[in-house]
Copies of this chain bind each other. A is one copy, B any other.
Amino acid sequence: MAATNPIITLLSDFGVSDPYAGMIKGVILSIAPQARVVDLTNDIARHQILEGAVALEAAYRYFPKGTTHLAVVDPGVGTTRRAVACRASDWFFVAPDNGLLTFILQAHSDFQMVSLEDPAFRLPKVSRTFAGRDIFAPAAAHLANGVLLEAIGPPVTDPVMLEVPRPVLREGGIEAHILYIDRFGNCITDLREEEFESWHQGKGRRDIVMRAGESLIRGLSQSYNEAAEGNPLALFSSSQRLEIAMNQGNAARRLSLAAGDTIKLTLV
């Protein structure tokens, strides 16, 4: 059964200058006139699937159950990569099968996924360069209209998963990796608070120090203002991941940090 005003979010690398995200909204509203389309962001760096995957994971659960999350970072458009829709817990996702849903599928291993092959749920004319408009948007709109996931295509059980960095937890320390840098220069890593907590408990909660680039950061902060202005700090972010930040400053720029870099955490 369709919700009265179903919500569809949009995450993409289409940018804000071109009308591509707008076209997708037009297609959705043509098929699901009562839907409400909400931008998560359309400014994921071009073709950066991991960046899109991190942003999607941070945001999806803040939307009401039943929300359909449409995610299009699609460097393989026009190739044989599959287009998929899935249900994970009480949310729906529509995306290219290229790893963009990796964190969602890891967190909800009982997901159900289908392949978007049925022409009935695509635009009548499908281009080979804009699947977001021609395949993904129609599928999201039909789901929002209450079409059953199972009705949209044949099941998929082997989705493509990104090889995402994983923190290495050792006796004497942890190697975390930067996954995502936000507009404030905050560097968000692959180390989750719960993983760290259980490791740290086993170490008797001894003090820790982190090496980020050339800088050493002692201890964890609770908020940005616990370091002096312009000084780096580490805390668990609002998405429960280890984050290297700087009070009133841009940590990534000032510490020359980039996605993929290692943050070494050691007991002292």
The residue from B17, B30, B225 contacting A64, defined by CB atoms under 8 A apart: B30
Shortest Cβ gap from A172 to chain B (Å): 28
Verify B127–A33 contact, CB threshold 8 A: no
Verify B41–A183 contact, CB threshold 8 A: no
Verify A19–B223 contact, CB threshold 8 A: no
Interface centre among A16, A18, A183 (most CB of B within 10 A): A18
A39 neighbours in B (Cβ, 8 Å): 21-22
Verify B43–A38 contact, CB threshold 8 A: no
Shortest Cβ gap from A225 to chain B (Å): 5
- In chain A, positions 196-212 with a C-beta closer than 8 Å to chain B are none
Q: Which of A54-62, A93-101, A111-119, A148-156 contacts B (4 or more CB under 8 A)?
A: A54-62
A237 neighbours in B (Cβ, 8 Å): 127, 129
Verify A34–B5 contact, CB threshold 8 A: yes
Residue A257 is within 8 A (CB to CB) of chain B in the complex: no
Residue A260 is within 8 A (CB to CB) of chain B in the complex: no
Shortest Cβ gap from A60 to chain B (Å): 8
Given A16-B41, A29-B7: A23 and B183 interface contact (C-beta under 8 Å) = no
- In chain A, positions 20-39 with a C-beta closer than 8 Å to chain B are 20-23, 25-27, 29-30, 33-34, 36-39
A248 neighbours in B (Cβ, 8 Å): 47, 75
Verify A40–B14 contact, CB threshold 8 A: no
A58's nearest neighbour on chain B, judged by CB, is B19
A130 neighbours in B (Cβ, 8 Å): 238
Given A23-B59, A225-B78: A18 and B38 interface contact (C-beta under 8 Å) = no
The residue from B22, B26, B62, B128 contacting A41, defined by CB atoms under 8 A apart: B22
A5 neighbours in B (Cβ, 8 Å): 33-34
CA separation between A34 and B37, bound complex, in Å?
A: 13
Given A43-B16, A44-B17: A37 and B37 interface contact (C-beta under 8 Å) = no
Shortest Cβ gap from A135 to chain B (Å): 12
Of the A-B pairs whose beta carbons lie under 8 Å apart in the complex, a sample of 26, sorted by A's number, is A5-B33, A5-B34, A9-B22, A14-B183, A16-B16, A17-B43, A18-B41, A18-B183, A19-B41, A19-B56, A19-B58, A22-B39, A25-B38, A26-B38, A27-B62, A29-B64, A30-B64, A47-B248, A62-B133, A77-B224, A78-B222, A79-B225, A128-B222, A129-B238, A133-B238, A134-B238
Binding site for B on A (CB under 8 A): 5, 7, 9, 11, 14-23, 25-27, 29-30, 33-34, 36-44, 46-47, 55-56, 58-59, 62-64, 67, 75-79, 127-130, 133-134, 182-184, 222-225, 235, 237-238, 243, 248
